[in-house]
Amino acid sequence: MTDLSALETRLAAEIDAASDEAALETIRVAALGKKGEISELLKGLGRMSPEERREEGPKLNGLRDRIAERLAARREALADAAIAARLTAEAVDVTLPVRSSPVSRGRIHPISQVIDEITAIFADMGFSIAEGPDIETDYYNFTALNFPEGHPAREMHDTFFLKPDANGERKVLRTHTSPVQIRTMQAQKPPIRIVIPGKTYRQDSDATHSPMFHQVEGLVIDRTANVANMKWVLEEFCKAFFEVPSLKMRFRPSFFPFTEPSLEVDIQCDRSGSEIRFGEGTDWMEILGCGMVHPNVLRNCGLDPDEYQGFAWGMGIDRIAMLKYGMPDLRAFFDADVRWVEHYGFRPLDVPTLFGGLSS
């Protein structure tokens, strides 16, 4: 008969020495499996006499139960050790600042955000967005817009001219987005309702001017467009953009070659505090230029001024962004300073809507 005490001691030592659950399972199969050592001894009980069976049966069953309990205890200890090791390896120091996600770190440039705000406002009024090339011909940039030969805006101190082409024609970096108005009127029959945000270029640079800046223009052409319509559109835009319930506007006579009559628009503001507040106070600030489209411009686009009329306006996107969000220097818009963008920029999911609030 096998020495059960020696067998139990050996199996117990093997169980205690098992380093993982796979090794422990190998020991269990060798001891308690169908062909395991203890299982084979239990099978031998049937060949014993009743007296031997009464004596050896309790010993073998007791050995089997003790080994099974020892296996279960060792398995639990190994599982606890594995969890402890995993917790140690995957530990997170909660005292460190949470690393922000790319969505929360990224920022939309204020110019892009303001263009989206402008688009949202005018889209709600039924306007569509129009675009055109940054490099323009003299005809689209000046002649078609009723700029006479010798006009100061054609001079080198205002306009970036490119080298003459094979035909001797010098193209220009557009000085305004107005050429898109001409291209739209030539390609589309009235009624026309468009706004044109885009880059423009002039030779000027200081705290409030940049050689490259952003402008938005609007154009309405139909048979009944008039100054009253224009005033309503501009007033509604300014109220929505500056997010004020009411706003006084002042229209002053001016001159632009492509409109007649031409007007400059001032809006009510209060400069008494540390910031400019719109829709209150007794001060005025010039915000944009506008007017009725000049009959010569309509003729240049193939439209009969006796049948069609319209109005147009334009303003600097960078300037109204500075006014709304309190940015003191236009040059910072183009410095690519990450700290500036993090301070003044907008989160990617801050999509401006009229019903949700443009800048909420």
CA angle 165, 168, 169 (to 5 degrees): 75
More confident residue, 28 or 349: 28
Confidence band, pLDDT 50/70/90 cuts, at residue 197: very high
More confident residue, 319 or 60: 319
The H or E element containing residue 272 is: none
pLDDT attached to residue 16: 86
Q: Average the pLDDT over 99-112 and give the result.
A: 83
Range from 201-210, 236-245, 318-327, 339-348 carrying the lowest mean pLDDT: 201-210
pLDDT attached to residue 5: 81
Distance CA 134, CA 110 (A): 21
Distance CA 19, CA 65 (A): 22
Distance CA 300, CA 71 (A): 97
pTM: 0.68
Q: Average the pLDDT over 295-314 and give the result.
A: 95
Q: Residue 269 pLDDT > 70, yes or no?
A: yes
pLDDT attached to residue 236: 94
Confidence band, pLDDT 50/70/90 cuts, at residue 356: low
Q: Residue 1 pLDDT > 60, yes or no?
A: no
Q: Residue 156 pLDDT > 60, yes or no?
A: no
Picking from 195, 223, 218, 207, the residue whose alpha carbon sits closest to that of residue 303 is 223
Torsion angle of the four alpha carbons 231, 233, 235, 238, in this order, in degrees rounded to the nearest 10: -140
Confidence band, pLDDT 50/70/90 cuts, at residue 327: confident
Range from 33-42, 62-71, 106-115, 244-253 carrying the lowest mean pLDDT: 33-42
pLDDT attached to residue 208: 63
Range from 71-85, 100-114, 276-290 carrying the lowest mean pLDDT: 100-114
Average pLDDT, the chain: 87
Confidence band, pLDDT 50/70/90 cuts, at residue 59: confident
Confidence band, pLDDT 50/70/90 cuts, at residue 337: confident
Confidence band, pLDDT 50/70/90 cuts, at residue 151: confident
Among 165-174, 200-209, 279-288, 310-319, the range of highest mean pLDDT: 310-319
More confident residue, 183 or 31: 183
DSSP 161: B
- Which residue's entry shows tokens 């309990």? 69
In the chain, % of residues over pLDDT 70: 95
Q: Residue 359 pLDDT > 70, yes or no?
A: no
Q: Residue 335 pLDDT > 60, yes or no?
A: yes
Q: Quick one: residue 28, left, alpha or beta (phi over 0 = left, psi -120 to 50 = alpha)? A: alpha
β-strands 128-129, 277-278 pairing: unpaired
Distance CA 310, CA 221 (A): 4
pLDDT attached to residue 131: 94
pLDDT attached to residue 324: 87
Q: Average the pLDDT over 271-284 and give the result.
A: 83
pLDDT attached to residue 30: 86
pLDDT attached to residue 27: 85
The answer, yes or no, to whether the previous bond of 261 is cis (omega within 30 of 0) is yes
